[in-house]
């Protein structure tokens, strides 16, 4: 879709069969910058998300601000409409980030994307945001997916 920025290949410096780099759309943010994103398993794009399966998310980012906490918001983007996508743990401080977040430090954010069996089999864009105490974006990235049974 034209609304997305140009695709940036995610770089995985450690060879690992578990982490397969995906081509992602990284949106710039005021308060942080993404260094690396891994969605696993996702060998091709769009990512085939199988119902009843959980996918690993690993984002390395640098913070440009200080924040006591952070919160993830995940959406399924269809026809330019964001539909909230519930995740088990929205608290970034319980997802690998050592809080409080300090300016100039890098953090590894780890989470799961569960694909429920009741989800429809459709193509859409997953949008993942992490916001700070002031509701400002620490990072935002998008990836095209296909939900399948």
Instruction: Find, among 132, 136, 140, 124, the residue nearest to 27 by Cα.
Output: 140
| pTM of the complete model | 0.80
Q: Quick one: pLDDT band at residue 93, thresholds 50, 70, 90?
A: very high
Mean pLDDT of all residues in the chain?
Answer: 84
């Amino acid at each position: 879709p034209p609304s997305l920025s140009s695709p940036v290949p995610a770089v995985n410096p450690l060879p690992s069969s578990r982490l397969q780099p995906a081509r992602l759309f990284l949106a710039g943010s005021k308060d942080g910058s993404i260094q690396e994103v891994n969605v696993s398993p996702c060998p091709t794009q769009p990512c085939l998300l199988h119902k009843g399966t959980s996918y690993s998310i690993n984002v390395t980012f640098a913070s440009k601000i200080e924040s006591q906490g952070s919160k993830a918001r995940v959406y399924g983007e269809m026809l330019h409409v964001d539909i909230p996508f519930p995740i088990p743990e929205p608290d970034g401080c319980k997802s690998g980030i050592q809080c409080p977040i300090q300016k100039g430090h890098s953090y590894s954010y780890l989470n799961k994307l569960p694909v429920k069996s009741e989800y429809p089999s459709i193509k859409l864009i997953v949008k993942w945001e992490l916001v700070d105490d002031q509701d400002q974006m620490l990072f935002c990235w998008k990836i095209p997916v296909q939900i399948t049974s």
